[in-house]
Amino acid sequence: MDLSLNETQEMFKQTARDFLAAEFPMSLVRRIEGGVQGYSPEIWKKMAELGWLGVPFPEDCGGLGGSLLDVAVLAEELAQAAALSPYISTLLSGLLILREGNTAQKERLPRIAAGELIVSTALVEPSGSYEPAGIQLEATAQSDGYVLNGTKLFVEYASAAQELICVARSQSGADDTDGISLFIVPADAPGITIETLKVIGGDQQCEVVFDNVAVTKDQFLGQPGKAWPGVAWMLDVARALASVELVGFGQKALDMTVDYIGYREAFGKPIGSFQAAQHLCADTAILLEGARWASYEAVWRLSEGHPASFHAAVAKASASRAGREATITAHQLHGGIGYMEEFDLQFYSRRAKGAELKWGTPDQMLSNISQYAGL
């Protein structure tokens, strides 16, 4: 296993860093957070022109034929720029279509790669559970299809999406995983109500209510009633990429802190010259380095088609801790200025807290790790 970046990934990394520095200043981040769209359509178009939206899709689907490791490189750079966009949520949905979809459904992938189609997956419900038992949105059979009723929470960029992949329970079974189905539903279908939620991370997350939403059998994604393995795989991918983002948020907070303590003086000396400040930063660097390797290992295993549920949970737990400790240390060493809205550090501490809670909290990840380890 070699997790070092290859030539293409180094190019992606540098291209992304240069592009985001030029096109995504913090002033734009502030405008997006204060707006209603939740992202910049202009930047989205440019990302598509750079090929970013097609990275993990095969060339015959309009993509670049890249890997999840390529996506992870871009995700970490987007995190360090505190950039807001439907990038990860749309790619996750696209990868689910690539894995589970039929030929007609996969025709969406070139449109995703071209930036013409934004898709989001509606998974979590008011219980907050990511386990199969938490899927309670009902898909009730009728003569010509199904009717969806229920509520989904924290659906990323739902108000910007043209389509939603809804995880629903179409029948009961002996096991909680039985009867879980996926439906591709137009976001503006009659009976769907979308409301933007105010969340700590500043990204766009929505409540989506399905009230007698009619769907046909053609809208099934994958096998009816047997969709949980695909959902579980998507959760592994989401957790691995969220871990990479957490490392990006924490790394940027550390870099800002090292820079700040190099010129901020106390007692006539830069506070970075004091051993206590140096050791706090060193401890943070150790946590981030461990989390980075855990995160990229999980992404690598998924890229190679290996089982990765344990590794994704380890990555998410360790990266959540690293992101949290990195931002706490950053605020401690910045002092009062670090808590000002006018100062950029608050973007990274809020993003890190939001990412820590997404796709499973650290406590949930620890429970999963214990389960996978047979404890």
Q: What is the average pLDDT across 66-85?
A: 96
Return d(Cα 182, Cα 215) in angstroms, integer: 11
User: Largest alpha-carbon pair distance within the chain?
Assistant: 80
Q: What is the pLDDT of residues 250-301, one digit of tens each?
A: 999 999 999 999 999 888 899 999 999 999 999 999 999 999 999 999 999 9
Share of the chain above pLDDT 70, in %: 100
**What's the whole-number average pLDDT of the chain?**
95
Query: Would you tell me which CATH number, out of the four given (3.40.640.10, 3.40.50.740, 1.20.140.10, 1.20.1080.10), belongs to the domain 229-372?
Result: 1.20.140.10
Return d(Cα 261, Cα 271) in angstroms, integer: 5
**The pairing of beta strand 138-142 with beta strand 145-156:** antiparallel
Tokens at 212, concatenated: 């007698």
Confidence of residue 3 (pLDDT cuts 50, 70, 90): confident
Residue 47 pLDDT more than 90? yes
Q: What is the pLDDT of residues 205-248, one digit of tens each?
A: 999 999 999 999 999 999 999 999 999 999 999 999 999 999 99
Quick one: 7-117 is in which CATH superfamily? Acyl-CoA dehydrogenase/oxidase, N-terminal domain (1.10.540.10)
Residue 169 pLDDT more than 80? yes
**pLDDT at residue number 8:** 85
Residue 1 pLDDT more than 80? no
Confidence of residue 159 (pLDDT cuts 50, 70, 90): very high
Q: Where are the domains of the chain?
A: 7-117, 120-225, 229-372
Return d(Cα 318, Cα 247) in angstroms, integer: 10
**pLDDT at residue number 372:** 85
- For residue 352, give every residue at least 6 positions away whose Cβ sits within 8 Å of its Cβ, in sequence order, or none: 246, 249, 250, 253, 323, 324, 326, 327
Confidence of residue 173 (pLDDT cuts 50, 70, 90): confident
DSSP for 119-160 reads EEEE---TT---SGGG---EEEEETTEEEEEEEEEEEETGGG
Q: What is the average pLDDT across 154-182?
A: 94
Return d(Cα 80, Cα 249) in angstroms, integer: 5
Confidence of residue 64 (pLDDT cuts 50, 70, 90): very high
Return d(Cα 62, Cα 98) in angstroms, integer: 12
**pLDDT at residue number 374:** 81
Report the amino acid identity of residue 113.
A
Q: Is 18 helix (H, G, I), strand (E, B) or coil?
A: helix
Q: State the CATH class of domain 120-225.
A: mainly beta
Tokens at 363, concatenated: 């406590």
116 has which bridge partners?
Answer: none
Residue 2 pLDDT more than 80? no
Return d(Cα 66, Cα 55) in angstroms, integer: 5
Return d(Cα 339, Cα 352) in angstroms, integer: 15
The separation between CA 125 and the C-alpha centre of its own chain, rounded to angstroms, equals: 17
* Closest-CA residue to 281 (of 250, 238, 245): 250
Q: What is the pLDDT of residues 319-354, one digit of tens each?
A: 999 999 999 999 999 998 988 989 999 999 999 999
